[in-house]
Structure 1
Amino acid sequence: MGHFVTAEVYVNSPWSVEEAKVAIDAFCLAMRQEPGCSLAYAWQDNADPSRFILWERYDSLAAHQQHFTLPHTQAFIQAGWVKLIRAFETTLSDDEPKEPTR
């Protein structure tokens, strides 16, 4: 089923929210072009516009690890657009769902 990532980030100063949003959107577009990445989107928090939630889906943990070696990922991290608050990762198996045991 794949490797899923949900990340909470905040815009770093001195960047404006508008500048960071453009960079985040471009980063997500670049991620969606990566081999092994089938989903990469960012949602902006209505209550706090400096907060974004990124949702990503990779074919495997290895594809996610490869993501960090790519030039656009390294450039985004080094630019310091955002601060990562937390990230949740889940790798789901390809097995069919089973009925819960009682």
Structure 2
Amino acid sequence: MKDQNKIEETTSALLELCSKTIEESGCTVFTLHQDQSEPMRFLLWERFDDEMAFKQHFEEEHTKKYVELGLIEIVQVSKTGAVNK
């Protein structure tokens, strides 16, 4: 998060992003988490069916609108997969 004075605004915008993104085709998880010890740190836990769905997410109007707000900076992106035995 860029501005500590905008925690409420950022939280509200992220929750709106979550509610719209979870409705996208190919998105099965999109939840917001906030660090309990550092309230300015947020984590979006996301799961898309495939790379195409993930890329399409950034073409959606609601995603573009959120990014334009400039409320956060992306610190880390991880691509993971399930470990099956």
The AA in structure 2 aligned to 1:58 is F
1:71 aligns with 2:61: yes
Give yes or no for contact 2:4–2:40 (8 Å, CA) kept in 1: no
CA contact (8 A) 1:36 1:63 kept: yes
8 Å contact kept, 2:2–2:71: yes
Q: Which has the higher contact order (CA 8 A, sep 6+)?
A: 1
Greater per-residue strand proportion: 1
- Separation (CA, whole Å) in 2 of partners of 1:61 and 1:52: 23
Shift of 1:89: 1.3
Match of 2:42 in 1: 52
Which residue identity does 1:71 align to in structure 2?
Answer: E
Report Cα offsets for 1:52-85 as digits up to 9, x if no partner: 1110011111100110111011111111121111
**Would the alpha carbon gap of residues 15 and 89 (structure 1) be closer, same or farther in structure 2, given more than 3 Å must change?**
farther
TM-score, normalization: structure 2?
0.89
Aligned length: 85
Question: Cα offset for 1:13?
Answer: 2.4
Cα root mean square deviation, aligned: 1.8
Equivalent residues in 2 for 1:4-19, closer than 5 Å: 11-13=1-3, 16-19=6-9
Measure, in 1, the Cα distance between the counterparts of 2:5 and 2:11: 10
Identity across matched positions, percent = 31
TM (normalized to structure 1)?
Answer: 0.75
